[in-house]
Structures are given as structure tokens and as C-alpha cells.
Amino acid sequence: MNYDRLAYGRRVLREELKKLRNTNYMMNKEFIQHGTTSVYQHCVSVAYRSVIIAARYNINVDMRSLVRGALLHDYFLYDWHGCSLKELHGFHHPRIAWENATRDFDLNPREQDIIRKHMFPMTVIPPKYKESWIICIADKLVSSQETLKMHPSHLQPRGKMYD
Ligand SMILES: [Fe+2]
Ligand SMILES: [Fe+2]
């Protein structure tokens, strides 16, 4: 484990969450992702898990893009449980999240790739950057645990990040 990278990632996550306060992003607290987990909590968990993966395997990532992309990867802004064709949500939401995110925030190509490709292999074109691959994997791990209601405490961000 590269503890310097972990500490840096945690700091970036706190900073980026602070920047998102008082923006449309806070609407994510109102939407449920899996089980009782809000989209907001889900995205924070995916960001934190991505930081852990980068630190654990000592991957030299663009940390700010990794965190920002993770926080915005599910910025689709609707209750997908209410969709008549729920199964299509998996295919369409990366594009909707990308459209919303590029409308509301200034995103670099890496952050955009993270959002658009995070459902690979559902989205046919594979991720282009290592940061996108990390979030693609972190999202699947976190989603499975949320669905199964497993919340390993050592994999959750400490402090008030969920508030
Ligand atoms: Fe997603
Ligand atoms: Fe997700």
C-alpha cells in the first residue's frame, strides 16, 4: 500500500466534495442507487474505492481526474427505479450522466471517458485511460456490495464525507 498516495487521494476527495456543495450535485442525495444507498453515497464510495485501488497497487494516476470522474460517473439525475424499462438504464445512463456533467461542470477528456465508459462491457467501447479502468472495476465492486448490503468499514471513507 502506498500510504502517501492514499492520503493524497483522501485529501483530493474531501476538496472535490467541498467544491460540489451548493451545486446541482447535491440532488444525488435524493436518488436511491442500490438498496438504501443514495446515488451520492454510492459515488463517494466508488471514488474512495478507486483511491484505495490506486494506492494498493501503487498506480500513478491523475488523482484529481480519478476522483472527479468517480464522483460524477452516475450524475444521471433521475430515479431509475421508476423507469418503465429499468434494464435499459444500464445502457443509457453513462451518456445521460456525461451530458449532465458536461453541462454543469468543466471536465477534461479523462473525466469524460470515466463517465462514458464506466459500464464497460455494457458500453461497447472500452475505457481509454487507466483511471477509467479503475472506476469501471471499483463501481462493480461497490455496486455488488451495496446490493448485498455489505459495507466493509475499512473500505468506507471516514469522517463526514457522506454528509
Ligand atoms: Fe453507473
Ligand atoms: Fe455507479
* Long-range CB pairs of 103-111, under 8 A, 24+ apart, other chains included: 104/23, 104/24, 104/25, 104/75, 105/23, 105/68, 105/72, 107/68, 107/69, 107/72, 108/65, 110/62, 110/65, 110/69, 111/65, 111/68, 111/69, 111/72
Are 148 and 119 contacting, i.e. CB atoms less than 8 angstroms apart?
Answer: no
Give the number of the ligand closest to the Cα of residue 92. Answer: 1
Domains present along the chain, CATH in parentheses: 3-150 (1.10.3210)
Q: How far is the CA of 83 from the centre of ligand 2 (A)?
A: 17
Q: Is the pLDDT of residue 96 over 90?
A: yes
- Note the pLDDT of residue 36: 80
User: What band does 44 get if pLDDT is binned at 50, 70 and 90?
Assistant: very high
Å from CA of 71 to ligand 2 middle: 9
Q: How far does residue 56's CA lie from ligand 1's centre (Å)?
A: 23
Strand segments, DSSP code E, in 6-81 are: 32-34, 37-38
Q: What pLDDT does residue 160 have?
A: 60
Residue 7: pLDDT above 80? yes
The pLDDT of residue 161: 65
Report pTM. Answer: 0.90
The number of the ligand nearest the C-alpha atom of 144 reads: 2
Measured from the alpha carbon of residue 142, the closest ligand is 2
Q: What is the pLDDT of residue 79?
A: 81
Cβ neighbours, 10 Å, residue 102: 15
Average pLDDT for 87-107: 92
Position 153 pLDDT exceeds 80? no
C-alpha cell at 102: 458536461
